A and B are shown apart, each in its own frame.
Chain A
Amino acid sequence: MFILSDLYRVSIGVGNRVLTPRMKQIVKWDHPAGMKYIHFWAPLMKWSLVGAGFGDMLRPANKLSLNQSISLFATGATWSRYSMVIVPKNYMLFAVNIFLAFVGGQQVARIAHYRYTHLETPNEKEKQI
């Protein structure tokens, strides 16, 4: 169950031994928000949400969840404002959340367009709500 965390710890140990001090300086290995700590990897994983959202562009619009798209847009918009307000300013977080807001907004627009153009049968209307 803890295989991933062991793997992570082992690779950090390997990195500590293999990298030269000059290389460590270049990649900021010992920085408190660097590659050794969760402060780096967690915001980086937020890009996977953007990627998944892009991948969802291939899905037909009636297979998208409206609730999820709205909440993605809201969280992207809120955090992109707050990442510029906190000290220190976090440009990476700003970028991720701007993209997330765009992806969420694009999904909402697709769903809205689909529902606007496909409201013929009462069966469809039932399924949508």
Chain B
Amino acid sequence: FNTNFSTHFWGPVANWGLPLAALADLKKDPEIISPKMTVALCFYSMLFMRFALQVKPKNRLLFACHFANECAQLMQLARFLNHKYGTPKPMKQYQVPSDLVQSK
């Protein structure tokens, strides 16, 4: 383990905030997931996984961070898609009166 606490260390530590934030958000309302940001983060982490291994010296901490972020963002994306397209919602023009709706 490289004990030289330089930018090579603290930079990836700052980047760990993103997967930890996504993991904390897993329990929250899927309403707060932003689809654009989640998809952008998926692509970003995919590219940076390769970048972390190709840069000299190899930055395995950054690789681990982006791997975790990729997994977390894919989970958030799945939750968002399930919330938006999975749960049946009545169409706008066919609003059923609320006393007749059977809750799932």
Contacts and interface: CB of A to CB of B under 8 A. Distances in A.
A72 B16 CA distance: 10
Given A41-B47, A77-B14, A79-B15, 9 more contacts: A38-B50, A48-B43, A52-B39, A63-B34, A64-B32, A64-B34, A65-B32, A65-B33, A71-B17
Most buried by A among B24, B37, B47, B50: B37
Nearest to A55: B36
Contacts of B91: none
16 contacts: A38-B54, A39-B54, A45-B48, A49-B37, A49-B41, A49-B44, A51-B40, A56-B34, A56-B37, A64-B32, A65-B33, A68-B21, A68-B22, A74-B14, A77-B14, A78-B10
Interface in B8-51: 10-11, 14-15, 17-18, 20-22, 24-25, 28-29, 31-34, 36-37, 39-41, 43-44, 47-48, 50-51
Nearest to A77: B14
Interface string A56-85: 100100011101101110110111001001
A52 B37 contact: yes
Interface residues of B, number: 31
B96 interface: no
The 7 A-B residue pairs with the shortest CB-CB distance in the complex, in nearest-first order: A71-B17, A67-B21, A78-B14, A42-B51, A52-B40, A52-B36, A71-B21
A71 B51 contact: no
Contacts, number: 87
A72 B55 contact: no
Nearest to B43: A45
B10 A82 contact: yes
A123 B39 CA distance: 31
Contacts of B34: 52, 56, 59, 63-65, 68
A127 interface: yes
Interface of B: 7, 10-11, 14-15, 17-18, 20-22, 24-25, 28-29, 31-34, 36-37, 39-41, 43-44, 47-48, 50-51, 54-55
Nearest to B44: A45
B34 to A, nearest CB: 5
B58 to A, nearest CB: 13
